[in-house]
Amino acid sequence: MDPSLLREREAFKKKALSQPVVEKRKGTSLPNRKTKKAKVSRKERSTTASDDVNRYKTAKVSSGHNFSLLARIVNFMKKRHQRGVLFPLTLEDILEELNVLDVTLRQKHWLLTEALVNNPKITVTDDKAFQFKPAYEIRDKKHLLRLLDKYDQNGKGGLLLEDVEEALPKADKALKALGDAILIVTRPVDKKQILFYNDRSVDFLADDEFQKLWRSVTVDAIDETKIEEYLEKHGMSSMQDAHIRKPEMRKLKKRRAGSRKTGNARRDNEHIADILVDYTEPNADGETGKTTN
């Protein structure tokens, strides 16, 4: 072998030995980036899912608390109106009257911009104050009597007692003061009381003969729908919802005792009716036996 080649070989070995070499241990490997990303994504998914559940629970609780607070405010304003306290209040004054101090800014914003503004029982004044809004604007007993008279003249009927009590402050005293100027009728459908104007101008005394004729006409056996149709044909209208209409029940026919439907039931020995013969003795009249079924 060429001595120059041998010298180069020895020099290469010395150089290789002089450089340090790090060996990889068995069983140890660098973590894969993909597995790290997968683990991180799983953790993120679990945290986001738990956050969504918690957010849903808190939103559900907060919405229920908001509507309960709104109901308290409306009920407070209603009772305040019924006591005769009619001046408006700001939201801060209402919360102070109710002794509600744990209202967040978000809830106040919701009450000011959505809940109280859009509530049909609340009126918003020009200076952003709130006032109760009843079904009717009734200031006193005279105003109530004029309203009932107007309804009577226009054929609108009467007013619900609960609406009058809601609208008129101290309605009990006003109704007692009016006395027989109004009529209170209980509606049979839902047992609600209705106020009517008692028009004295239509009162008249009926003759005894007219009363007898009136009482002699009986309509008990006539269906109420037929009575309504008769009145409509003659240009008259009937009172609506004056009675409880019961659903028509089908009348069940009573079966006679001992009557049964045979239908296609098979009779005994019918398939051999042409073979059976009656062998009884002939009677005194001389009749012979007959074939039986």
Residue 131 burial (10 A CB sphere; 0-12, 13-18, 19+): middle
Residue 151 — φ and ψ, nearest 5°? Answer: -65, -40
What pLDDT sits at residue 169?
86
**Rg of the chain over all Cα atoms, to the nearest angstrom:** 48
Mean local confidence (pLDDT), 175-194: 90
C-beta separation of 148 from 197 below 8 A: yes
**Is the pLDDT assigned to residue 73 strictly greater than 90?**
yes
> What pLDDT sits at residue 231?
82
% pLDDT > 70, the chain: 68
pLDDT of residue 25: 59
Cα atoms found within 13 Å of the Cα of residue 132, Cβ hemisphere only: 27
pLDDT value, residue 232: 87
What pTM does this model have? 0.50
| CA dist., res. 18 & res. 132, Å (int) | 97
pLDDT in tens, 236-288: 876 665 555 555 555 555 555 555 555 555 556 666 767 767 777 666 565 55
Environment class of 132 (CB within 10 Å of its CB; exposed 0-12, middle 13-18, buried 19+): buried
Greater confidence (61 vs 14) lies with 14
Task: Of 98, 136, 139, 89, give the one whose Cα is nearest residue 116.
Answer: 89
Cα 274 from Cα 288, distance rounded (Å) = 17
The predicted structure's pLDDT at residue 57: 45
CA angle 219, 159, 125 (to 5 degrees): 160
Q: How many residues in total does the chain contain? A: 293
Going by C-alpha positions, the residue among 261, 257, 293 that lies closest to residue 275 is 293
d(CA 46, CA 226): 70
Residue 276 near residue 269 (C-beta atoms within 8 A): yes
Provide the pLDDT for residue 156. Answer: 87
For residue 133, pLDDT beyond 70:
yes
